[in-house]
Amino acid sequence: MGIKKVSNIFLFITLISAIFLIYLWYKDYEFKTKPLNQDIISKIEQKTKHLRQLAYKNYNITYDIPVLISKNMKNNLFGMAIYSYDKGIIIYLNKNRFKENIDYMIDSVLPHEYAHAIMFVLKDFSKKNAGHSKKWQDICISLEGKKCDRFVNNNDIIIEKTNPF
């Protein structure tokens, strides 16, 4: 093979790699700047509806717990459950984490956080083991959660009970 041919092949490979890199950068940029796509949003909505039905069936709870997507969460958090005096109970899911594994976010993280939220509905604000009590675990399992282990190192609940006024 002549030198020219080899260098052409080399140039070709370099070019393909560069195009691929630019494509990856673009995908990353697109993910960061755009909202989650409609497919994922529908999946979250369906799962939330199912969780609400399970909460009603198992605990007779009718409280409609909002599930919001946030792009401003700390990167080590997948989701959070928040109880605040003025806004009530809210679940947040970390938008950036949907990039890696959508099923994990929906089948593991969402039920995990939903179980924290139900603890708040039941007025159990125990912070023992960062809210991962035996009771929380039972609720998590009853919600068909796939991530109901009690020994997690993330602090994923915030409780603000005091009336600021």
Task: Report the C-alpha gap between 79 and 44 in whole angstroms.
Answer: 13
Q: How big is the site for Zn ion, counted in residues (CB under 5 A)?
A: 1
Give the nearer residue to Zn ion in terms of CB position, either 89 or 156.
Answer: 156
Give the nearer residue to Zn ion in terms of CB position, either 48 or 108.
Answer: 108
Closest approach of Zn ion to the CB of residue 148, in Å: 9
Closest approach of Zn ion to the CB of residue 11, in Å: 52
Three-state DSSP at 158 gives strand
Q: Binding to Zn ion (CB under 5 A): which residues in 58-97?
A: none
Token representation of residue 102 = 């959508």
When CB distances to Zn ion are compared, the closest residue is 156
Q: Binding to Zn ion (CB under 5 A): which residues in 126-165?
A: 156
Closest approach of Zn ion to the CB of residue 25, in Å: 34
- Length of the chain measured in residues: 165
CA 143 centroid distance within chain: 16
Asked if 58 and 135 count as a contact pair (C-beta separation under 8 A), the reply is no
Give the nearer residue to Zn ion in terms of CB position, either 28 or 149.
Answer: 149
Asked if 156 and 90 count as a contact pair (C-beta separation under 8 A), the reply is no
Closest approach of Zn ion to the CB of residue 46, in Å: 22
Residue in the structure block whose two tokens are 């991530």: 147
Give the nearer residue to Zn ion in terms of CB position, either 111 or 156.
Answer: 156
| Residues whose CB is less than 8 angstroms from the CB of residue 88 and which lie 6 or more positions away in sequence, other chains included | none
Which stretches of the chain bind Zn ion, using CB under 5 A?
A: 156
